[in-house]
Structure 1
């Protein structure tokens, strides 16, 4: 992994992570709210408005992460237009480590001052530090390979750090 790639080849890392309980909760809640909206006319507006809650579960319950020469992209599997992009020029460094949802604010998409995260489980996570010192974390298998690849791409772009 630490060897330079042959001229003309492009290294890309791609993984998906899914939270079964988040997808199931989103699906069951959606069905329940739609049933209420159809059967109980008096509660239709509220039931339809509340669909935003299961939509959040469904949008963040399955995520793909891609590392390429253009940077890092994390996007929803079900709603791919919902994504976070980090161009390589905006990334200062990347590391990988075991992470618990409680240390980054909980499960799902989280945002706090200086830190945003997609946390679907406890485990291996990719930690990206941006040039503005904010951090983005995503729990995903094989995060170490992603971090090494990002480091190699940064070295190619800016020279060894």
Structure 2
């Protein structure tokens, strides 16, 4: 390393959140549907199709959120490839506030015109205003720190342009 070079600090923020009732619902319903599929041939097809609902509860019942210099990533903690990525250039602003699932479309992963969300509970939430004007909301502990870091990263990225 060149002695004149100054090391650059990199700040990364991670949080995990799990919804016990969503995970329990997914697990219990999956087990019940598997038993029905195994012992009740006339209802096997419908039971197997309904496993999709159980899978949805399991996939969205635990999330991982990361804020880093490359942007924000939010997705399933159980199946990491299932995630949303927001590079900094796609984010206009970030804020945090107390949020109820009913004000953002409900529990789990929600897609609505202009507002999408990942919501596992009422409480702290990271609100992203995207460059296209849409909003993306993630209920997550310590959302204030995530919003502050995102704001700092956005300010730093604009200096570079």
- The answer to whether structure 1 residue 81 and structure 2 residue 89 are counterparts is no
Cα distance in 2 for residues equivalent to 1:95 and 1:7: 29
- The answer to whether structure 1 residue 123 and structure 2 residue 129 are counterparts is no
Q: Return the TM-score normalized by structure 1.
A: 0.94
What residue is the counterpart of 2:3 in the other structure?
Answer: none
- Secondary structure of the 1:52 match is helix
- The answer to whether structure 1 residue 158 and structure 2 residue 138 are counterparts is no
RMSD: 1.2
Q: Return the TM-score normalized by structure 2.
A: 0.94
Deviations 1:18-72 (A, max 9, x none): 1000000000000000000000111111111110001000000000000000100
Cα distance in 2 for residues equivalent to 1:34 and 1:72: 36
Between Structure 1 and Structure 2, how many residues are aligned?
155
Moved over 4 A (4+): none
Cα distance in 2 for residues equivalent to 1:143 and 1:103: 17
Deviation of the 1:83 alpha carbon: 0.4
- Give the gaps of 5 or more residues in structure 1: 1-5
What residue is the counterpart of 2:19 in the other structure?
Answer: 19
- Secondary structure of the 1:154 match is helix
Deviation of the 1:7 alpha carbon: 3.9
